[in-house]
Structure 1
Amino acid sequence: MSLDLDNIVAIDVHTHAEEPCNHARDDGYNEFQQGMAAYFKNPAGHQGMLPSVEETAAYYRERRIAAVIFPVDAERETGFHRYSNEEVAEICAANDDILIPFASIDPWKGRMAAREARRLIRDHGVRGFKFHPTYQGFWPNDRMAYPFYEVLEEEGVVALFHTGQTGVGSGMRGGMGMRLKYSNPMTIDDIAVDFPDLRIIMAHPSFPWQEEALAVAQHKANVYIDLSGWSPKYFPEILVKYANSLLKKKMLFGSDWPAITPDRWLADFENAPFRDEVRPLILKDNARRLLNL
């Protein structure tokens, strides 16, 4: 079975494989997830009941929402073992009526990251890669990551970058060592220039750099914004203004599952001041075009 877009009501471009699928939880991982749960007011993290990838597929299938899903490789910065990209991709393949596989490789792995990325794309059908500059501790425009980006551009897959404030480490001692500066969206501008054929998504309303993100997305044809990680009722006025006008074909629905559920996001989206003609673009049409579905 494959994705039936006529039966799909929305495409969530930002969901996480948070529960380790290939090893036990590392020391400190429970505390990390509890901090995330407190930030997002998500009881699942407090109770240690984060969904598996298979449970995520069932949840989204019931709602007829397709989901881009990925782990995050931040072994260097956190000491937490990464999840298996291959295993996530295999589960996606078994649930390809609803899940779209992305992967994550720490860009500090250099040419090793580039080789792994090409193999994941060609052998496992991975459609894009998630980067979290704060969690992975790097400037997105650092040249050490360029061999990795070259592969993504050559293979025609998507690069999705976290931008702005993050729930990772929020309220924890020293912010768990996370440095917010790395997630300023203006660094994405360099990548968009140097890799003009690489399709790029800037994830989240980019507090406190929202206007920088809007400027980059407006100026660079290959850059999009996903609206995950925030309830739409908290979106900055200028973000909604641009979504309703200049960037209406560049905005994408994303929830940040399991931190924020699509049920919550979509309910608040209904009451947010988006134009009727823009809503289907955000929920499905823009992602369908961007992902070449």
Structure 2
Amino acid sequence: MTPDIDALVAIDVHTHAEISAQGHASLPHDLLAASEKYFKAHGHRQPTIPEMAAYYRERRMAAVVFTVDAEHATGHPPIPNEEVAQACAEHADTLIPFASVDPWRGRAAARTARRLVEEHGVRGFKFHPSLQGFAPNDPLAYPLYEVIEELGVPALFHTGQTGIGAGVPGGGGIRLKYSDPMLVDDVAVDFPELRIILAHPSFPWQDEALAVATHKPHVHIDLSGWSPKYFPPQLVRYANSLLQDKVLFGSDYPVITPDRWLADFAELDVKPEVRRKILKDNAARLLGLVKD
């Protein structure tokens, strides 16, 4: 079963599984607390994946769900990708599983990625270079990208500022430089058939992200992590014109809800035909939910 695209209001390509069925959090407490403070989301409840399914189903939306495997850099075990995939499979009418594999696992990461796609139905992979502590263009990740490219599924990279570690001494050890989209430009050159998503308005590298997405045919941008009323003007301009087929709706749920995001997006001066592309058509094509 896959989501009924015609019946959907939108496809949210950026949501987080923050807690496992056993109550294991996706991040260490100090980093999670910093993120909540950054997003002014104190006390927000961490929904389980079945609860996320009910939430999105009620809104007639589909959602891409993932966690982040940053165990090498943080020492914190991730939520198992297999658990995310299984829970999404139980709600396949509304949830789409992505996985996260720590690039520091080397060639074992590549084998894991193949198994997750072929045996568990994973539809893409999430990278958070700043949290995982690696530069996207570091050759250590190349065996992993090679497999993802071969399998034909997207790779989504966090770009720009992050609320994780914000305000913690030393940023919790998180280096913002790893989330410069120009580092992903190297990946797009070296893996020309890899489908790439640059996540978030990429402050302070917004122009760089627009340049990469304009120049490289398989690079897309998701709009998660910011309320649309704060989008840089050039991002709105490109989304409404040159990049109208390559920009995707994403919320960053649960720290930003799709309800808030969509209400603010409705206030933007976006062409009606482009609005539909951003909300679901571009994502449906990229995720292979419709024929390209």
TM range (shorter): over 0.9
Q: Deviations over 1:133-181 (max 9, x none)?
A: 0000000000110000000011111100000000110111211110000
TM-score (norm 2): 0.96
Are residue 287 (structure 1) and residue 283 (structure 2) matched? yes
Are residue 204 (structure 1) and residue 200 (structure 2) matched? yes
Q: Deviations over 1:67-115 (max 9, x none)?
A: 0000100011112111110011000000000000100011011100000
Are residue 262 (structure 1) and residue 258 (structure 2) matched? yes
1:210-249 to structure 2, matched below 5 A, reads 210-249=206-245
C-alpha contact 1:164 1:208 (8 A) present in aligned 2? yes
Are residue 4 (structure 1) and residue 25 (structure 2) matched? no
Are residue 154 (structure 1) and residue 153 (structure 2) matched? no
Deviation at 1:43, TM superposition (A): 3.1
What's 2:40 paired with? 41
C-alpha contact 1:14 1:255 (8 A) present in aligned 2? yes
Deviation at 1:25, TM superposition (A): 4.6
C-alpha contact 1:185 1:206 (8 A) present in aligned 2? yes
What's 1:134 paired with? 130
C-alpha contact 2:30 2:165 (8 A) present in aligned 1? no
Residue aligned with 2:34, SS:
helix
C-alpha contact 1:107 1:145 (8 A) present in aligned 2? yes
What's 2:181 paired with? 185
1:112 to 104, 108, 113: 108
Alpha-carbon RMSD: 1.3
Residue aligned with 2:64, SS:
strand
What's 1:145 paired with? 141
What's 1:69 paired with? 65
What's 1:19 paired with? 19
Report how many aligned residue pairs link the two structures. Answer: 289
C-alpha contact 1:22 1:83 (8 A) present in aligned 2? no
**Structure 2 gap segments, 5+ residues each:** none
What code does the residue aligned with 1:36 have?
S
74-83 or 138-147: which moved more? Answer: 74-83
C-alpha contact 2:25 2:79 (8 A) present in aligned 1? no
Residue aligned with 2:12, SS:
strand
Identity of aligned residues (%): 65
Equivalent-residue separation in structure 2 for 1:123 and 1:16 (angstroms): 22
TM-score (norm 1): 0.96
Equivalent-residue separation in structure 2 for 1:282 and 1:219 (angstroms): 19
CA gap of 1:91–1:25, structure 2 versus 1, over 3 A, is closer
Equivalent-residue separation in structure 2 for 1:280 and 1:270 (angstroms): 11
C-alpha contact 1:22 1:84 (8 A) present in aligned 2? no
270-279 or 200-209: which moved more? Answer: 270-279
What's 2:82 paired with? 86
Equivalent-residue separation in structure 2 for 1:41 and 1:99 (angstroms): 26
Equivalent-residue separation in structure 2 for 1:123 and 1:228 (angstroms): 29
Deviation at 1:32, TM superposition (A): 2.4
What's 2:30 paired with? 31
